[in-house]
Chain A
Amino acid sequence: MVIEQIEAQLPGAILDRHDFRGDTTIVVDGARLLEVVDCIFREGFQMLLDVTAVDLETRELRFDVVYHLLNLVSQDRLRIKVQVGEGVALPSLTSRFKSANWSEREVFDLFGIPFTDHPGLERLLMWPDFPGHPLRKDYPLDGGDPFCNQDIGASYAPLARSLNA
């Protein structure tokens, strides 16, 4: 499988690997991301479907940047995760995949994770001088607007999670 190829050609690049419900995930070091991506590109993973991120606020390396790739020939899927801390930049994949352009802009907009060598890294979904990064866990759902959650019985706010902590 492709993971054996990566381990053969780039020893030490893969930090962790797990399979869950048929999905293969590898955790890669940010510094070696471009090498790993070039290796799997040669193995046939030529479509980058999606770049997204998860905010694990209590961990030291706060964000998990997640890449989903598809091999059109063998129909295999691969998920690559890179753990980054607050303010640390990742290399952009726009030179390899054109679909990375807007996906990385969205991650920058909603999480605040910068990407180096991106042709135009600016906000995508929010307006240019929007303060903050909405999908971070410390950003409130109503964005600081007190009218938003007024007069409703079951609040959507973080209290909704307390029943099953």
Chain B
Amino acid sequence: MGAIDLDDAVLTTRLDAVINWGRKNSLWPMPFGTACCAIEFMSVMASRYDMSRFGAEAMRFSPRQSDMLMILGTITNKQAPVLRQIYAQMAEPKWVVAVGVCASSGGMYRTYATLQGADRVIPVDVYVPGCPPRPETMLYGVMELQKKISRESLSARKEHIERFYASMARQEELQEAKGLSSQQVVREMVVAAGEQGGQQIW
């Protein structure tokens, strides 16, 4: 029986805590469903493993009206610029949950066509492993995101989001200069980053 920890029991008057409490309990998901993890996500939204308990019931399927991008399934190289465009269209504050091993690291598909992890092209906050992850695991991933949000500070600039927009600008310059499609440009950027030992293009 030591000192009483006030932080959990009493709502502090610090502005950050209040704002973060509001944000983490009303995360509106944008389900970017591509493959099998989207079917498990349907289970999460259905009655047994209800995600609306966490305030995340409003699935608007529009990046403009959501703050949590859930990548559900494999991201292929053809899909990569689409994912970047969707993330760019979301308004801040925004977070990304990569659900499943395909979105986290490419999964079992180490091939020419699969992007080896969505974090190569957009910043990711929480990785939920599993193939597919059980609905409880997905809920745990959302809870971890909530913990992460409660540690954030309003005054800290989101450096990774700025870097992402800079990489979008670079992508567009390359598209203009070379006259290639967005998929080919993103693929070349990803391979170039891999050759230089890095992984991310943002």
Whether A144 and B191, one on each chain, are in contact in the complex, defined by CB atoms closer than 8 angstroms, is yes
Whether A145 and B112, one on each chain, are in contact in the complex, defined by CB atoms closer than 8 angstroms, is yes
* Cβ contacts under 8 Å, B195 to chain A: 146
Whether A141 and B181, one on each chain, are in contact in the complex, defined by CB atoms closer than 8 angstroms, is no
Q: Does B147 contact A (CB under 8 A)?
A: no
- Which B residues, 95 to 151, have Cβ-Cβ distances below 8 Å to chain A? 106, 110-113, 116
Q: Does B194 contact A (CB under 8 A)?
A: yes
Q: Does B183 contact A (CB under 8 A)?
A: yes
The main secondary structure of chain A at its interface with chain B is loop
Q: Beyond A126-B78, A131-B184, list 19 extra A-B contacts (CB 8 Å).
A: A127-B77, A127-B78, A127-B181, A127-B184, A128-B181, A129-B180, A129-B183, A134-B112, A139-B112, A142-B110, A143-B111, A144-B112, A145-B190, A146-B194, A146-B195, A147-B116, A147-B191, A147-B193, A147-B194
Query: What is B's interface to A at a CB cutoff of 8 Å?
Result: 77-78, 106, 110-113, 116, 180-181, 183-184, 190-191, 193-195, 199
The distance in angstroms between the C-alpha atoms of A139 and B180, with both chains bound, is 21
The distance in angstroms between the C-alpha atoms of A127 and B110, with both chains bound, is 19
Q: Does A148 contact B (CB under 8 A)?
A: yes
Q: Does A156 contact B (CB under 8 A)?
A: yes
Whether A149 and B110, one on each chain, are in contact in the complex, defined by CB atoms closer than 8 angstroms, is yes
* Cβ contacts under 8 Å, A141 to chain B: 110-112
- How extensive is the interface on chain A, given as a class? 20 to 34
Whether B184 and A129, one on each chain, are in contact in the complex, defined by CB atoms closer than 8 angstroms, is yes
The distance in angstroms between the C-alpha atoms of A50 and B36, with both chains bound, is 25
With A127-B181, A129-B181, A148-B116 as contacts: A142 and B78 at CB distance below 8 Å:
no
